[in-house]
Amino acid sequence: MPALDALLTLLIPTLILLHLYVAPFTKVEESFNIQAAHDILTYGIPTGNFSTALRSYDHFDFPGPVPRTFVGAVLLAGAIRAVLGLYNACALLYYRNGVSTAFGRNIGNWYLLIHIGQFHLMYYASRTLPNMFAFGLSTLAMRNFLPIPAAAPAISKRHKLSIYLLTITGIVFRSEIAMLLAAQVGYLLLQKRISLARDVVPAGLAGAVVGLSVTIPIDSFFWQKFPLWPELAGFYFNTVKGKSSDWGTSPWWTYIGNALPRLVMNPVAGQVCIPLAVALKPTRKASLDILIPLAIFVGIYSVLPHKEWRFVVYALPGLTAVAAIGANWIWTRRAKSMAYRFLSLALTASTLASIGVSLGMLAISSLNYPGAAALDKLHRITLGSKEVVNIHLDAMTCMTGVTRFTQMPPQSLLRYDKTDDEQELLSPPFWEKFDYVLAERPEKVIGGWEIVDEVHGFAGLRVLHPGEGRHAGGGDGAFKKLDVERTSLWTRSVDFARSKITRGWWIEIKMEPKIRILKRDRG
């Protein structure tokens, strides 16, 4: 049905933009690229005294443990974050086109339906993590490894394009892509479906030349270190020196047992449809061709002690494609037996539930940026000031939404300080120069201060039993950003749902003070 195809196609970019609109702020993992994009837009790319002009850039004050590439930020600075989200949406839709061509339109539609309920993908597609710059390119590349019918020369051309794109992606954006490339190429070589001399070496060398030609000049210029290859430096720091463990370690099974099920999110799709697609003889080979390289990639990466879901997010389109194969098998046979009828009902319920849960997680996630909300309040408090206002932002404030985009421009009278050196923070003279402080823990701020306001943030969920009232500061208060907690309509809707639908049970969003706005007590 063309109308259904068009609707499902539009839902992917629409949901990505909805997640961006509801939760526009960023956290520390995204900070480098968003700060770099701000600095390029604000200060431009220096053409005179490079070292002096670049000193206004944030990465010289807060360089982080390893350098990160400026390539994504340079591209992003030419537009807005929505472009990043739409770029990833186009990559997903391009992959869907390959799924539809290889397996049929219905499987392509199931692929989109399952993606729609994947919170992490929809939420982070527009966020400036280095992984999300890499995600679009890796998805475009992996699409060309799908078993799309074609003549041998066309298939060889697609394989070489994929190797070329993955090589560039690994060199410029994320070094773990090299493991995904090795797994995919190794699998095809074992099956004698590609040639090392004809396909792999030429495409890999071309990708390496292009990738290095892009990242080394750009990043050496912005970091003022010649020559600099950020992903090589990051690989050496995190893998060779083992410094990634400083951010925590996880057991070897974390990706398989936790991260990937959370990414797929739809429990029936992940735990029923994928195994079913592998078990059934008609769909087994195609499913294994997609899954085996991804399994090798995840298995290799599981050896490293520090694990995060974003390191293996590139496997998600392939997993979703196999889940769609299994889902379509169930759905098209729902009238043939009680077992398939039951599974189709479970699949429908699971798909709708995952979409609902994903939207609920979006609402909750929008409450995780108290730093940005506190800075916005402070801007309103200081509005119209005729004198310079010096502001200190503590670490929690900076990590929960504050970027240079949320600060007032340099020509304003507001001056921001983000010092996080513990010794300096223990010095009383350090605090005397500030008029306001945004702090998670006011007791650590030395001197005479008064709390003029506080900003709440998400603090978990709480199950309310029948007859139990809502907690002050929770529940309705969680939606203060949307100004719905004060409307009688919202209150009546909650009361109606509790009394008529859930019989008194309810899930309350707990909020607690996260950031305090302190004003110097001049008395």
pLDDT of residue 29: 72
Q: Is residue 133 scored above 70 in pLDDT?
A: yes
pLDDT of residue 316: 98
Is the pLDDT higher at 378 or at 46? 378
Is the pLDDT higher at 495 or at 118? 118
pLDDT of residue 52: 54
Q: Contact, 250 vs 305, CB < 8 A?
A: yes
pLDDT band at 61 (very low <50, low <70, confident <90, very high): low
pLDDT of residue 74: 65
pLDDT of residue 211: 97
Is the pLDDT higher at 47 or at 81? 81
pLDDT band at 47 (very low <50, low <70, confident <90, very high): low
Mean pLDDT of the chain: 88
Mean pLDDT, range 49-63, rounded to an integer: 64
Q: What is the pLDDT of residues 71-83, one digit of tens each?
A: 766 666 656 778 8
Q: Which stretch, 28-37, 138-147, 228-237, has highest mean pLDDT? A: 138-147
**How many whole angstroms separate alpha carbon 32 and alpha carbon 130?**
9
pLDDT band at 454 (very low <50, low <70, confident <90, very high): very high
pLDDT of residue 28: 66
Mean pLDDT, range 318-338, rounded to an integer: 97
pLDDT of residue 34: 75
**How many whole angstroms separate alpha carbon 201 and alpha carbon 185?**
11
Cis peptide before 428 (omega within 30 of 0): no
**How many whole angstroms separate alpha carbon 308 and alpha carbon 259?**
7
Q: Contact, 519 vs 435, CB < 8 A?
A: yes
pLDDT of residue 481: 43
Q: What is the pLDDT of residues 227-282, one digit of tens each?
A: 999 999 999 998 888 888 888 899 999 999 999 999 999 999 999 999 999 999 99
DSSP 3-state percent helix, strand, coil across the chain (nearest 5): 65, 10, 25
**How many whole angstroms separate alpha carbon 305 and alpha carbon 465?**
41
Mean pLDDT, range 337-357, rounded to an integer: 96
Q: Is residue 489 scored above 80 in pLDDT?
A: no
pLDDT band at 475 (very low <50, low <70, confident <90, very high): very low
pLDDT band at 486 (very low <50, low <70, confident <90, very high): very low
Sheet holding 436-439, edge to edge: 414-417, 389-393, 436-439, 506-520, 449-464
Q: What is the pLDDT of residues 405-429, one digit of tens each?
A: 888 887 789 999 999 999 999 999 9
- Closest to 94 measured CA to CA, from 321, 291, 254: 321
Q: Which residue has the tokens 């720091």?
A: 237
**How many whole angstroms separate alpha carbon 130 and alpha carbon 311?**
10
* Percent of the chain clearing pLDDT 90 (strictly above): 64
And the tokens for 398?
């900076």
